[in-house]
């Protein structure tokens, strides 16, 4: 269903994205949250996504139950496998899932929910791994293995959910890979918590790419979830694609698990020519002084006059177009293609930065906003990224 030779952009949709998504045609794959099923707006989105996508994935959000935030989130508490489905609830503890029969019950409930939402590929229950010597690592590995062995009706994907600090040391990364690659699911979905490419060092990006390559070496395709342009780097490194929101959900901070992920309202615009998302007014100012910041979008309508629906729809189409252009390049040439693409985006940002600086207004295109493009360029064989404090931001 996923193929690294033709990588995909997989949108992660929120209920508020429904109208914009309806303007973007059909998709190869879409990722939704299981918690949407409890609300009428979410059910409407589920139906639309089912009709418009060849492959529907449903995130069971099981790692949320390791933290207290779900207790105040009615949608998460209402899922059948929630420890708070009938009571105030409690936090999941490793000792509870050391028993095979408890894991089996969770797998059955999680898969039942996804089937009810007509998911084509089932995502195994998953847990956040924050230390390689913590019991959650082996429990997460056992759960995937048992989920794959149990299901005969539909393909099963394993979710690897780890904190960035867990994979920064080579030995720790090897331990994570050894645990998860003990089985081979139909695909891997990778969620690296507290990794935001806009702030990440080259070492952090290298660790993420190493994780993706290591999982891909097991023979199953890998989707990098909650990624921005780093998802393109992952695809150039052999991933089958990346999953992200239109204007948000390009990173997964730990607070999403502590607080429960709520609907996000992004007052932003994705400028394909800059390969970055900017506040609406700043994006409009950049385009006014640097027209090629639009990228493939030749619209003359000021960004500040676009309603949210059009901004989200354009972001979805832009990200899909980026991945389609990368997929059209031979695998051995994808890093070179991205390197040139990042260079062009950096040039556009630098030119706009100098010109916007002369314009009136409180918002400026600072180097810090697009520095991450230097880090990503380094990941695909380009010049080393500048050190932030020496770059003047």
pLDDT (tens digit, 9 = 90+) per residue, 163-185? Answer: 999 999 889 999 999 999 999 99
Phi, psi of 136 (to 5 degrees): -60, -30
Lowest mean per-residue pLDDT among 127-131, 188-192, 250-254, 292-296:
292-296
Q: Which residue from 103, 93, 104, 105 is spatially nearest to 135, judged by alpha carbons?
A: 93
Element counts in the chain: helices (H) and strands (E): 14, 11
Q: Which residues 6+ apart lie within 8 Å of 334 measured at CB?
A: 235, 236, 326
User: How confident is the model over 352-369, as a mean pLDDT?
Assistant: 82
Tallying the residues shown for the chain, one arrives at 393
Quick one: DSSP state of residue 384? Answer: P
43 pLDDT above the threshold of 70: yes
In which region does residue 226 sit, left (phi positive, over 0), alpha (psi from -120 to 50) or beta (all else)? left
pLDDT tens digits, residue range 20-40?
999 999 999 999 999 887 777
Contact between 79 and 32 (Cβ < 8 Å): no
For 13-34, give the DSSP string: --GGGHHHHTTS--EEEEEEEG
> C-alpha distances in angstroms, 79 versus 39, 114, 135, 259, 264?
12, 11, 25, 17, 21
**Residue 347 near residue 355, CB atoms below 8 Å:** no
For 234, the token pair is 């992952």
Name the band, by pLDDT with cuts 50, 70 and 90, for residue 341.
very high
Query: What letter does residue 99 receive in the DSSP assignment?
Result: S
Q: What pTM value is reported for the model? A: 0.94
Q: By three-state DSSP, how is residue 58 classified?
A: strand
Whether residue 293 contacts residue 365, with contact meaning beta carbons closer than 8 Å, is answered with no
Are the C-beta atoms of residues 114 and 120 closer than 8 Å to each other? no
Name the residue with tokens 């009571």.
Answer: 87
Contact 175, 132 (CB under 8 A): yes
Per-residue pLDDT, averaged over 207-236, amounts to 97
pLDDT, position 393: 45
Give the mean pLDDT of the chain.
92
Residue 45 half-sphere exposure toward CB, CA atoms < 13 A = 25
Residue 340 φ/ψ region, left for φ over 0, alpha for ψ in the -120 to 50 degree band, beta for the rest: alpha
Cα dihedral value 199, 202, 205, 207, nearest 10: -130
What pLDDT is recorded for position 166?
Answer: 97
Q: Which residue has the higher pLDDT, 374 or 360?
A: 374
Q: What percent of the chain has pLDDT over 70?
A: 92
Whole-number Å distance between alpha carbons of 315 and 271: 8
Residue holding tokens 């929910």? 113
Query: Measured between alpha carbons, how far is 310 from 44 in angstroms, rounded to an integer?
Result: 19
Quick one: 381 exposed, middle or buried, by C-beta within 10 A (0-12, 13-18, 19+)? exposed
Show the tokens assigned to 117. Answer: 């939402």
Q: Which of 344, 345, 341 is nearest to 370 (CA)?
A: 345
For residue range 72-90, what is the model confidence (pLDDT) as tens digits?
Answer: 888 888 899 999 765 566 8
Torsion angle (degrees, nearest 10) of CA 82, 84, 89, 91: 20
Which SS3 state, helix, strand or coil, does residue 73 take? coil
Rounded Cα distance, 235 and 331, in Å? 9
Six token digits for residue 270: 């994705």
| 122-149 pLDDT per residue, tens | 999 999 999 999 999 999 999 999 999 9
Phi, psi of 12 (to 5 degrees): -95, 115
Of 45-59, 217-231, 281-295, the least confident: 281-295
């Amino acid at each position: 269903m996923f193929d690294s030779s033709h990588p995909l952009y997989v949108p992660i949709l929120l209920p508020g994205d429904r109208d914009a998504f309806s303007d973007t045609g059909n998709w190869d794959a879409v990722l939704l949250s299981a918690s949407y099923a409890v609300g009428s707006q979410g059910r409407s989105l589920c139906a639309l996504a089912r009709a418009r996508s060849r492959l529907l994935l449903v995130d069971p959000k099981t790692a949320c139950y390791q933290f207290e935030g779900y207790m105040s989130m009615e949608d998460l508490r209402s899922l059948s496998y929630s420890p708070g489905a009938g009571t105030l609830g409690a936090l999941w503890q490793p000792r509870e899932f050391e028993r095979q029969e408890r894991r089996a019950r969770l797998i059955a409930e999680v898969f039942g929910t996804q089937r009810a939402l007509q998911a084509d590929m089932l995502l195994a229950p998953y847990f956040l791994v924050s230390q390689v010597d913590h019991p959650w690592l082996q429990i997460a590995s056992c759960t995937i293995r048992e989920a794959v062995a149990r299901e005969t009706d539909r393909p099963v994907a394993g979710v690897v959910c780890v904190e960035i600090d867990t994979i920064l040391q080579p030995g720790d990364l090897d331990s994570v890979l050894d645990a998860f690659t003990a089985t081979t699911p139909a695909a891997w979905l990778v969620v690296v918590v507290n990794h935001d490419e806009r702030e990440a060092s080259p070492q952090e990006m290298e660790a993420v790419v190493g994780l993706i390559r290591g999982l891909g070496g097991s023979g199953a395709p890998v989707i990098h979830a909650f990624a921005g342009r780093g998802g393109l780097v992952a695809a150039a490194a052999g991933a089958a694609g990346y999953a992200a929101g239109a204007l948000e959900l390009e990173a997964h901070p730990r607070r999403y698990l502590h607080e429960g992920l709520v609907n996000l309202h992004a007052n932003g615009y994705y400028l394909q020519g800059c390969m970055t998302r900017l506040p609406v007014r700043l994006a409009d100012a950049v385009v006014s002084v640097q027209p090629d910041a639009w990228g493939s979008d030749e619209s003359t309508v000021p960004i500040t006059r676009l309603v949210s629906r059009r901004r989200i729809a354009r972001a979805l189409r832009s990200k899909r177009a980026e991945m389609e252009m990368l997929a059209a390049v031979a695998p051995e040439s994808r890093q070179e293609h991205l390197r040139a693409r990042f260079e062009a985006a950096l040039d556009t940002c630098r030119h706009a930065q100098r010109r916007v600086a002369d314009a009136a207004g409180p918002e400026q295109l600072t180097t810090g906003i697009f520095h991450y493009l230097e880090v990503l360029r380094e990941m695909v064989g380009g010049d080393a990224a500048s050190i932030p404090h020496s770059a003047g931001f």
